[in-house]
A = this chain, B = another copy of it.
Amino acid sequence: MKHAPFADRSPGSIALVGAGPGARDLLTLRAVARLAAADVVFYDRLVDPEVLSLAPQAEHVFVGKEVGAHSWPQDRINAVIVAAALQGRRVVRLKSGDPSIFGRACEELDAARSVGIAVEIVPGITAASAAAAALGRPLTERGATDRLVIATATCKPGDPDPELAALLTPGTTLALYMAMHRLPLLVAQMLAAGHDPALAVEVVGSASTSREAVLRCTLANLVARVAEAVLGNPAILLIRHPKAAAVATRRAIALVV
């Protein structure tokens, strides 16, 4: 793809559009409008084919990971979306969840801006919100948990493992993305940090989709229960550390001491 040679051609644009957690009806009206106006849609493996049906007029280009194959490198995705916009096309880059949360949006925003292409973010429902809806239980519970930590167990190659246990302070709900392949490490970290093996853990696989699965277990049996349920990514793992539990623990310690 080359830059269109027509000087009077109207410039293209790029919208990084949040496709939400999977269910078609969890797209926003703005996402639907961008899809309906798109000339080309670049999507990846977590986006439901039903969502693409909202852009029947557009070319659909898969830029994700095929089973058993390598993913498209991010540089290549940046290059193809920018090239399409430089041809004057309205580009939708469809991303599962919210492009602003673990969406590699920076790289695509920078690539677009570096060549003067207008680019916007259309926010989407992130998976933690969909997991809460699936559980019928909110992410914050007044007086118990008044902050939400959204973290990933997968980080940039070469970076040290994230210290996930340190994030679970009193008053926190921890929502972990892409953690299914690192559960033994997570459990070991949590137990080493002094968390109770009986601490409740909720896992929601493929929230909002037809494959949605909800699992309620504990730190102690998390690994076994997830294996039994054959739950893989994408799934959201929720661990809560209510303030009241922290107070109770401190009191128990004070009594023992």
Given the known interface contacts A124-B125, A138-B106, the answer about A29 and B30 at a Cβ–Cβ threshold of 8 Å is: no
Instruction: Report the nearest B residue to A23, measured CB to CB.
Output: B30
Cross-chain contact A147 with B150 (CB below 8 angstroms): yes
Report the Cα distance A171→B147, complex, angstroms.
Answer: 17
Copies of this chain present in the complex amount to 2
Cross-chain contact B148 with A150 (CB below 8 angstroms): yes
Report the Cα distance A16→B248, complex, angstroms.
Answer: 32
A140 within 8 A of B: yes
| Residues of the B chain whose Cβ atoms lie less than 8 Å from the Cβ of A137 | 106, 109
Instruction: Report the nearest B residue to A148, measured CB to CB.
Output: B150
Cross-chain contact A139 with B29 (CB below 8 angstroms): no
Cross-chain contact A151 with B146 (CB below 8 angstroms): yes
| Residues of the B chain whose Cβ atoms lie less than 8 Å from the Cβ of A125 | 28, 98, 123-125
The residue that A141 contacts in the complex, of B106, B119, B128, B142, with Cβ under 8 A, is B106
| Residues of the B chain whose Cβ atoms lie less than 8 Å from the Cβ of A23 | 30
Report the Cα distance A155→B140, complex, angstroms.
Answer: 11
The residue that A152 contacts in the complex, of B30, B107, B124, B146, with Cβ under 8 A, is B146
**A75 CB, nearest partner CB in chain B, Å:** 13
A188 within 8 A of B: no
**A13 CB, nearest partner CB in chain B, Å:** 13
| Residues of the B chain whose Cβ atoms lie less than 8 Å from the Cβ of A20 | 28
Report the Cα distance A253→B132, complex, angstroms.
Answer: 42
Instruction: Report the nearest B residue to A145, measured CB to CB.
Output: B106
| Residues of the B chain whose Cβ atoms lie less than 8 Å from the Cβ of A121 | 132-133, 136, 138
A59 within 8 A of B: no
The residue that A123 contacts in the complex, of B101, B129, B146, B148, with Cβ under 8 A, is B129
Which residues of chain A (90-139) have a CB below 8 Å from chain B? Answer: 98-107, 109, 119-126, 128-130, 132-133, 136-139
Cross-chain contact B156 with A162 (CB below 8 angstroms): no
Among A120, A147, A171, the one with the most B-chain Cβ atoms within 10 Å of its Cβ is: A147
Spell out A's residues near B (CB within 8 Å): 18, 20-21, 23-30, 32-33, 98-107, 109, 119-126, 128-130, 132-133, 136-143, 146-152, 155-156, 159, 162, 166-167, 169, 171, 243
Report 20 cross-chain contacts, Cβ distance below 8 Å, ordered by A residue.
A100-B129, A101-B129, A102-B140, A103-B138, A106-B141, A107-B142, A119-B136, A120-B136, A121-B132, A123-B132, A124-B129, A125-B125, A126-B129, A143-B156, A146-B152, A146-B156, A147-B150, A148-B150, A148-B151, A159-B243
Apart from A121-B136, A121-B138, A149-B150, what are 11 other A-B pairs with CB-CB below 8 Å? A25-B30, A26-B29, A98-B129, A102-B140, A102-B146, A103-B140, A105-B138, A109-B136, A119-B136, A123-B129, A146-B151
